[in-house]
Amino acid sequence: MNSPQQLAEVLTSLRIGNQSYLIAFYEQNRDLFARWARRQHQLVPAVAHELLRTVLVDFYDQVADGRLTKLPPDVRAYVYGLADEQLRSASTTEILPKDEAGRRQQLLRLFRQLGLDCQKMLMYFYFRGYNFEKVAGKMGFANANVARMQKATCLRKLYELRMRSEAGTR
């Protein structure tokens, strides 16, 4: 997947939430990246794998946020560069406005405090775009109405966590 047209399609599909390119990239490059990270930065494989995952999620965020509007011609070199920057804590990529970045990172932390069912439910609805029937089927609920009520409960929980968090920092 290296022709300019294919790379453009990758960017489009990533923007609409199709993450399969990055999943395949991880599967194909994990061991290669671990060897590179061991040689260049003396990282053990488990740490190298975690670094690659972090970098790929970061890459995805850049595409989703609209910070990356053109896919680099050599994605592998770009990802290795991101990993290098991550290790040197020297980001050269465009960063989000501070308010927006802080708000999203805070929401991400709070999201991880939710129960696994709530996380899954909100991911199905807000990221995958499943309707309530499909969410009910995936989660094992009796019908779409139950799914709707569960989603409302989870969103309320997340919102209340944010309210509490902000009250604590004020």
Q: Give the interface with another protein as residue ranges (CB under 8 A).
A: 17, 19, 22-23, 26-27, 30, 49, 53, 56-57, 60-61, 64-65, 99, 102-104, 106-108, 111-112, 119, 122-123, 125-128, 132, 148, 151-152, 155-156, 158-160, 162-163, 166, 169-170
Closest approach of another protein to the CB of residue 135, in Å: 11
DSSP letter string over the chain? Answer: --SHHHHHHHHHHHHTT--HHHHHHHHHHHHHHHHHHHHHH---HHHHHHHHHHHHHHHHHHHHHTS--S--S-HHHHHHHHHHHHHHT---S----HHHHHHHHHHHHHHTTS-HHHHHHHIIIIIS---HHHHHHHHT-SSHHHHHHHHHHHHHHHHHHHHHHHHHH-
Closest approach of another protein to the CB of residue 156, in Å: 6
Q: Cβ closer to another protein: 5 or 27?
A: 27
Q: Cβ closer to another protein: 87 or 165?
A: 165
Q: Cβ closer to another protein: 5 or 167?
A: 167
Closest approach of another protein to the CB of residue 32, in Å: 13
Q: Cβ closer to another protein: 3 or 46?
A: 46
Question: What does the alpha-carbon distance between residue 55 and residue 81 come to, in Å, rounded to a whole number?
Answer: 10
Closest approach of another protein to the CB of residue 127, in Å: 4
Closest approach of another protein to the CB of residue 26, in Å: 6
